[in-house]
A and B are shown apart, each in its own frame.
Chain A
Amino acid sequence: MEAFKGSLTMITNPAVFAYVMKGVAFTIVISVVAVLCGILFGSILAMVRNYCTSKKTRVFQWLSVIYIEIFRNTPLLLWIFICLVFCPCPKALEHKMWGLSSAEVKLLFKTAVALILFTSSVIAEIVRGGLNSVAHGQFEAGHSQGFSTVQIMLYIVLPQAFRNIVPTLLSQVITTIKDSSYLANVATIELMSRVKKLLSSAHRYNGLNTVNVSDVFVLFGFACLIYFIINFTLSCVVRRMQKRKKAVPARRQEVMP
């Protein structure tokens, strides 16, 4: 019991709490940035894969297929290790920022790049699903109105495609938040790695000079709780959206028989 009380004092220690919360902030920022960049690159990849089918542009289609398939079929951790060695880091980033040392900033940048590359390939497939759900008549209608292909994409197809995939994209945010814990493998500064670091120095904070089982339960339980609260809230939002999406066409049918 005493060991458990000692473990609890770790969480209530304001310095430790602030340390963990900063990790939470980094987790969220990294995930959101990864998803936003993923949407950008993923949309490009998906459009290239779907519409570059003419003889001249088929090379690009093949490239995007290769990219998507390679990243979908290899683990994220491999790409983190690869980026750690091969990803160049711009000189402008190699100094202290946001309370991190320059080495940590460099590490953060490299691992974030890995996460972005990986997420793009997943989002590309999601966007492709959205693009395929847009009826082909929309293209023909656009062409007959004198829109160019780029305009059709921007004003007609993409808005409809994205409206269809908003729930799936949101659940991808959940997956990315979970995936960002992989960065802990190379000790980037997000939630998971901070909790793991705390565990290895728990003897200093729990007042017992030893690391016990209760430390594991308190620290990892706390991290679980944080992840759960964030992701469960998001998944509730996703479920409500899906319910609304299903309800809308039914209502329309009633109005216009």
Chain B
Amino acid sequence: MKGLLETVIRGLGNGSVYALLALGFVIIYKATRVISFAQPALMLAGGVAVSHLAEVTGFYAAVPLAGLLVAGVALGVERAAIRPMVGRPAFVVAIITLGVDVVVRVVVNAFIGRDVRQVGDPWGFARVELGPLVVQQRWLAMLAVTAALVAVLFAFFRHTRHGLAMRAAAHDQEAALAQGISVGAVFALSWAIAGFLAAVAGAFAGTGQGIEQSSWVIALKALPAIIVGGLDSLGGAVAGGLVVGVVESLFQSYQGEYAPWLGQNFAVVSPYVVMLVVLLVRPYGLFGTREVERV
């Protein structure tokens, strides 16, 4: 039981990184109806920015600074590459975000070099006792920071003018425009928030193990997370990220013992298996909106 709970906490820690990334995907999707494939590059940029800034400011100050820096980059990307494509099919814009991802990664790779860069986090692999459980401090830190950011984000959408404007634009862009809401500003804000969240995810993905050129692949695990949770549900993104993290962690710990016939390293594909199962049962995800189309 102790081992199971420790495995779940590890999964929740890693899952909270996936949740932050998934939130970015969903916020952009709700605002623009486009899945942004630039999130991996923004995550990498955040991790790398923290690794450089932490040498000067320390880790705690470097994380928000890197978040703001990457939010600025995301704003620039939205203004230069995405805004001119408003009105084009979502598929075309999604392909453009793929191109943006490659370009940003090429630039960021120059700041990584060939070795692994450490993000300067204070936890390393240090552990802490929680009653009978012994867990890594960084997993608790990931979970706590994600919980705080999610709380702030949900308060922003519920109680602030800009947050309400984003919800209105997500619900019906034309009606929002008619009410004087700047849909362009909503697009920009959604990219900035997604960039900030991706940067924080990148910083926490680098804790303990560092950031290298191939670290961007971590962000791909947010894709099954958003499908599991539902493409247009913020709560679903958080739940999906945590589910993916926990499922992956459980497979890493127990599949070899209980289902060795699945072969070694089934944990790598387990998030995608969960995604397929959810798609079969609930095609719009656990918390997604069921779309009704007249034919």
Asked if A pairs with B, the answer is: no
Interface residues of chain B, those whose CB is within 8 Å of chain A, are none
